[in-house]
Structure 1
Amino acid sequence: MARLELLLIFVLQFEGISGRVSFLYKRPGEEAVLSCTTESSSPPTCSMVMWLYNRDQPETLTEVRNGKVTERSARAARLSVNTDCSLVINTITAEDAGLYTCRQWEDTSTYLSVLTISPSPPDADPKRDGNVTLECSLFSISYRPWLENRIRWVDETGAELLGEGDGYRVLQQTDCVSFLTVKRQSGHNRKYTCQLVDKQKNVKIEADYPPDFIGEITDPTGVSPLSYVMWTVRVAGLILMIVITVLVIRNKWNTKPLEKDNNVNNGADVQYENVEARPAAARPQ
């Protein structure tokens, strides 16, 4: 009886949804492209396409009407429609999670879920000593009884973190939220990854902490690559200023003697030009 009731709720909540159903997983800040076509359907006419959005609310919002983004949509600035009528969502946030339906001759539905990972306190520096609590959350439409996904934590070697171990402790874990406390130590960079996996342990999406760990260049001196760049720029600027100063001083030094020579020559010319021949004095007889 309970299963029948759940099935009835599902049918009533999503009545009219048919055609292809897909699942899309994203991280905050990424771009999502939601398709409006199916393998059996013909290319849609975008001027007749509607995009509907619903997330645990009684009212279904119309994001796109007649192929154009609704101006009243709170996300209008981040939404656009491609030439194939697919819906593009830029700079995804957790609030964008939910059910999207492209309504045409045959409906196409996409369940968009957003995986986030955030430290507590929010301004925690991953390069300083101390404990940090990481919260990994999956934002999606709440009613999804057919999904059997779960969240798990793994370290930089890919080993799953369970219970309590060296430098970590799993505090709480459900299907959609998991908390992990880790101990940061200077000079010992470690990566913690939150993964969403299905029943077969296939990874659907994952997020790392710290997010910029991949590709980060470490230095035993503790100086970051950015510090090296800034130091190089400062030294280059100092050298340039020294060169300019030397050139200016040299130019002034070479100019002053020339001016003195010119003055001396001019004075000499004037002196010789003003000299007049005088008659010799007559000798006394």
Structure 2
Amino acid sequence: MLLLQLTLLFVLVLGAGSSDDIYIYHRAGDEVIMSCNSVNSSETSCSSVDWFYYRDIFTIDTIVSDGQINKDSPQADKLSLGRRCSLTITNISSEDAGAYRCRYRNTYEHDTVVYLNILTLSANQSTDPVGGVTLTCTLWGYTDSYCEEDSLRWLDEERDELKQDDDEVYYSRQKNCVSDLIITHQINHSRRYTCQFVDNNEVKISADYTLVSTAPVDLTSDSTPNKIIFILNIAKICLLIILVVIVTTVQIKYRRRTGAAEDAQDQDCVPDEQDSRVIYDNVENHQGPAQHHGQKKRGGRGRRSDVFNSQRSSEEDSV
């Protein structure tokens, strides 16, 4: 009896799936525009238009009344009216999923009902014994919405459908409009997965998720060549840095040694001015007036002969 009452209430509230019902599919974060087919194209005012939101058959929220946004509605900040009184919702989330009814001039028989379905895709650490990461794909809709078995499908980067016996992943059984994809620790780095909702063999909506793994590099996997190339490139860079440091150090030491050797050579080549002056003064002091006079007569022979004669004369005087 209770089930019958609920069914009758559902028919009275939303109708029994009339031809004016519209089903739309979007991803979280999208902007949605819902048309009100009850409004004539010649209508220039929305003062006779109301919009109602149904999360379920027991919860009804008047979001637009007489063409004005209801400021008390939880969705008020995201709502606006557009051409022909269409309803626009920005940055939608799972909380916005449900049924929206447009009513024109209180004519119930010509109401337009729009069913907004929102697909979300999220990642969490898996609680499964095999560990890894769990991707959860959910189709949010009106409370009584139902998803057929295998209507949510998973694809890999090559757009191939994932199977239960894959080595890297497996997914749990779909529960109504929720499907989990459990990814083990054998996952490759930065891989994209896609969840699709299929109705009557037609893809209605899909969402992608790129999973970046922080697992250690497995050199035994199929991607070993790429990993080896990456490691070799890192080794080349490190070797180049070490080589530059060594060459720079050798050049600095060489320049220091060369500079010290040049300074020592310059000091050896410079004559000792004090010693040469003492020798010359001694020679001059040992020469007498006669020697100076004789030197002038001989036309100025070399200094070496004068020194020799001066020394010889001094020796004779001493004898």
**Does TM, normalized by the shorter one, top 0.5?**
yes
Match of 2:116 in 1: 112
Q: Partner of 1:31 in structure 2?
A: 31
Larger Rg: 2
- Please tell me whether the aligned partners of residues 52 and 61 of structure 1 are also in contact (alpha carbons under 8 angstroms): yes
Instruction: Give the equivalent residue in structure 2 for 1:154.
Output: 155
Per-residue Cα deviation, 1:194-246 (whole angstroms, up to 9, x for no partner): 000012x211000111189xxxxxx9859xxxxxxxxxxxxxxxxxxxxxxxx
Post-superposition Cα deviations, 1:107-148, rounded to whole Å, max 9, x if no partner, equal 1110001100100039xxxxxxx8210000111013246x75
Pairing of 1:186-225 with structure 2 (within 5 A) = 188-199=189-200, 201-210=201-210
Name the SS of the counterpart of 1:20 in structure 2.
coil
The Cα of 1:23 is off from its aligned counterpart by 0.7
Q: How does 1:56-71 map to 2 (within 5 A)?
A: 56-71=56-71
CA contact 2:14–2:113 (8 Å) conserved in 1: no
Aligned to 1:88: 88
After TM superposition, the score normalised by the length of structure 2 is 0.56
Structure 1 residue 37: Cα displacement: 2.0
Residue number in structure 2 paired with 1:139: 140
Q: RMSD of the alignment, in Å?
A: 3.4
Deviates more, 1:40-49 or 1:77-86: 40-49
Closer/same/farther in 2, CA of residues 51 and 161 from structure 1, 3 Å limit: same
Distance 2:76 2:178 in 1: 29
Q: Distance in 2 between matches of 1:94 and 1:112?
A: 10
The residue aligned with 2:72 is 72
- Per-residue deviation, 1:12: 3.4
Task: Tell me the SS of whatever aligns to 1:95.
Answer: helix
The alpha-carbon distance between structure 1 residues 5 and 16, as it changes in their structure 2 partners (threshold 3 A), is: closer
Between 1:57-66 and 1:84-93, the stretch displaced more is 57-66
AA matched with 2:163:
L
Structure 1 residues 187 and 16 mapped into 2: Cα distance closer, same or farther (>3 Å)? closer
Between Structure 1 and Structure 2, how many residues are aligned? 207
CA 1:54–1:187: 2 relative to 1, 3 Å: closer
The share of aligned pairs that are identical, in percent, is 40
More contact order relative to length (CA 8 Å, sep ≥ 6): 1
Following TM superposition, by how much is the alpha carbon of 1:99 offset from its aligned partner in structure 2, in angstroms?
0.2
Residues 1:197 and 1:19: Cα distance change in structure 2 (over 3 Å):
closer
